[in-house]
Structure 1
């Protein structure tokens, strides 16, 4: 079956119809990207959940501990952008393998840090690989799956962040509590070596998409080179800037809450560290369903509408969860946390398909990696902003304020960007893709 024919297949009616129709290549890439993203997200989020432990282990302040997360996200922007450019130049699969290996090794080495400065250095290097992995994998899967199922496939991959969040909560809470304080957090980072095994499950040449191979062959024949700065040329600058603003807003909103969630539960709700980890784990169930709901919603109603609906819901759910008088009652906090996580993580669900459909093939990985990871880097400002505001107002208020600011940024971007649902990538390469349809 040709790629063109597979793109024209009907969506089907069952929730997993897209996967049932997918060939072995699509399934193999899907599972590799899903597991890699799950473990990638686990390693990034576990540091945020370990902030109270890191503060004690290294004798640092909340702002200093948050600075490591911010620095890691900033490094991910640089690493992601360069990784995307390399994927456009040499192939998606080859760079996907490299980035998985890179972030796994430096995650593992983080467990050997003896000083604050060493941990900062290692987490920065980990961020370099962390930044490229999701974007390169999302581009690869987005190019080989049927276009009418692009949202469902990439949204399902994105749901791995919820599983990763749940695993991170288990590791940072009950798991760490099983060991001596100095040892527990180190073991958690050592577990980060596991994703390295995934590099053996994708095939360097065979698993690259046909649209990429065709585009690369055309570039080679015309002797055209790919540069990382091409995404900033006048033809693409507007899309690059708006996609980056969307990523800044959505991720800044989310990280304003998730980065301090265990700290909030312990310090303002009076919940123990291990119990807070269980609460966050239960929140992750809401996150998973939010991402899956977005995946189907965006294929049905459009990428922009998905961001708008989940953004508005995020504001309401976050205000209730953080500011309502829920006390430390599990019967109130657990359902409120489930709904908040559903909205927060659901807000991310359309990044993969939307960014794949915004950029042409020759700069797709560069543009997607830059936009997504620029959002990660600037979200460090939101993380620091919460810490700075918390010096003068309650932590829950500072988390809410920064979260709302993030959503506003994302909503502005959706007004100015085109709708792309169902876009044919070959038509986009030829400059024939339609503009906004809604």
Structure 2
């Protein structure tokens, strides 16, 4: 038996030096750490842009009573201003989605912010009702695209595990902008005559946009998007989202968006008028009531983002659709004189009607592949917004006979529509972006 030792085998390379551990998503802000430096800059840009989008939107509802008095408008005419804004925003959102797919998310964001800021200022110079309608419609072009594009930008940086929480945090910027608008509104209307105050509100809509434009210079598209923009292929095409593989998704996503936004914009547009015209609250008291409503909204966005990762996209929407509808019914049936109860109920109302939105950014992003993600999300979200915009106008016309409080109940029907729409959509929790 041979005792010759075996020939030595090939040299095994030494293991590589250990890399620095990847940041974990544990803890309250873990989702922010895993974004990385570029992702955090993208988050800051999207958050700031959406907060200013909200601020510019709420210059109208908060100023509606003074504006209507200045031009001698009926409730139906004031409701039409909101409807025109939201209908045109469908066009702006769809176009912004195509631009985001063809030229990048960041370029589309810059365009949307510049557009809504410029025409918000123009509204303050409107000499008559017709001109105001035109300027507000053009403002809707930018307003419609900002959220969808910003949400996609951040979704493509976010981890699969934390996408719901990350996009819920972006969504919370809406409450921040809303709150800022209420603060400015309270100050402006306290120290200026109403005939000038509503114009000043619109003029202030341009000031913060300059800062956001500067921030956007530091933001880059996610690597997957940059690589796809350099490659050949069909991108940013409306025909693609209506092909057999995506047609069902597109139709039911539009229906879902219509229901949720129909309910939301009914409340956002008419609650300030309801508090002043039917509850007899002063400007300062209205701001106090809205503070609780907005505080509830901010926490609702964050909570809904957490729950959409824990419960799933569909369960989160169903849960808060039901709670939102119940909140509307309770809020609008508070007895006269029970203003303390009305104050308390503002918090759950804001919480529920906002938490349902937290899953939208992640859910719509997960329903579409990268090449048409902007187009799909921009089209479905903003088409739903345009159709849902009919709700505020209907409330405006019904308010003449039912009162604003009675007409607000109509918004609860939108949430029922959202639940029905989910029957045609898949659950996407835990799925990688396609």
TM-score, normalisation: structure 1: 0.90
What's the CA shift for 1:273? 3.0
Is residue 265 of structure 1 aligned with residue 278 of structure 2?
no
Is residue 108 of structure 1 aligned with residue 121 of structure 2?
yes
Is residue 149 of structure 1 aligned with residue 162 of structure 2?
yes
**Distance (Å, rounded) in 1 between the aligned partners of 2:225 and 2:149:** 12
Q: Secondary structure at the match of 2:156?
A: helix
Preserved CA contact (<8 Å) 1:68 1:120: yes
**Distance (Å, rounded) in 2 between the aligned partners of 1:392 and 1:181:** 26
Preserved CA contact (<8 Å) 1:51 1:66: no
Structure-2 residue corresponding to 1:407: 415
Structure-2 residue corresponding to 1:252: 262
Structure-2 residue corresponding to 1:382: 391
**Distance (Å, rounded) in 1 between the aligned partners of 2:327 and 2:290:** 15
Is residue 397 of structure 1 aligned with residue 406 of structure 2?
yes
What's the CA shift for 1:11? 3.6
Runs of 4+ in 1 over 4 A off after TM superposition: none
* Higher-Rg member (1/2): 2
Q: Which moved more, 1:193-202 or 1:277-286?
A: 193-202
Preserved CA contact (<8 Å) 1:111 1:186: yes
Structure-2 residue corresponding to 1:121: 134
Change (3 A) 1:136 1:266: same
Task: Show CA shifts across 1:27-65 (max 9, x none).
Answer: 111111111101111111221121111101111111111
**Distance (Å, rounded) in 2 between the aligned partners of 1:287 and 1:393:** 27
Show the 5 A alignment for 1:170-209.
170-193=183-206, 194-203=208-217, 207-209=220-222
Structure-1 residue corresponding to 2:12: none
Is residue 227 of structure 1 aligned with residue 237 of structure 2?
yes
**Distance (Å, rounded) in 1 between the aligned partners of 2:281 and 2:74:** 20
Structure-1 residue corresponding to 2:324: 314
Is residue 61 of structure 1 aligned with residue 65 of structure 2?
no
Consecutive unaligned residues in structure 1, runs of 5 or more: 429-438
Change (3 A) 1:182 1:268: closer
**Distance (Å, rounded) in 2 between the aligned partners of 1:150 and 1:80:** 22
Q: Which residue among 304, 307, 318 is the counterpart of 1:297?
A: 307
Task: Show CA shifts across 1:326-367 (max 9, x none).
Answer: x34443122101111111111211110111101111110111
What's the CA shift for 1:225? 5.2
- Say how many residue pairs are matched: 414
Consecutive unaligned residues in structure 2, runs of 5 or more: 1-18
**Distance (Å, rounded) in 1 between the aligned partners of 2:87 and 2:230:** 34
What's the CA shift for 1:393? 1.9
Structure-2 residue corresponding to 1:431: none
Q: Which moved more, 1:381-390 or 1:286-295?
A: 381-390
Show the 5 A alignment for 1:90-105.
90-105=103-118
Task: Show CA shifts across 1:97-153 (max 9, x none).
Answer: 111111111111211111111111111111001111111111011011112111111
Q: Secondary structure at the match of 1:230?
A: helix
Task: Show CA shifts across 1:369-424 (max 9, x none).
Answer: 11111121112210111122223323212111x22210011101122211111211
**Distance (Å, rounded) in 2 between the aligned partners of 1:293 and 1:264:** 27
**Distance (Å, rounded) in 1 between the aligned partners of 2:274 and 2:390:** 19
Structure-1 residue corresponding to 2:362: 353
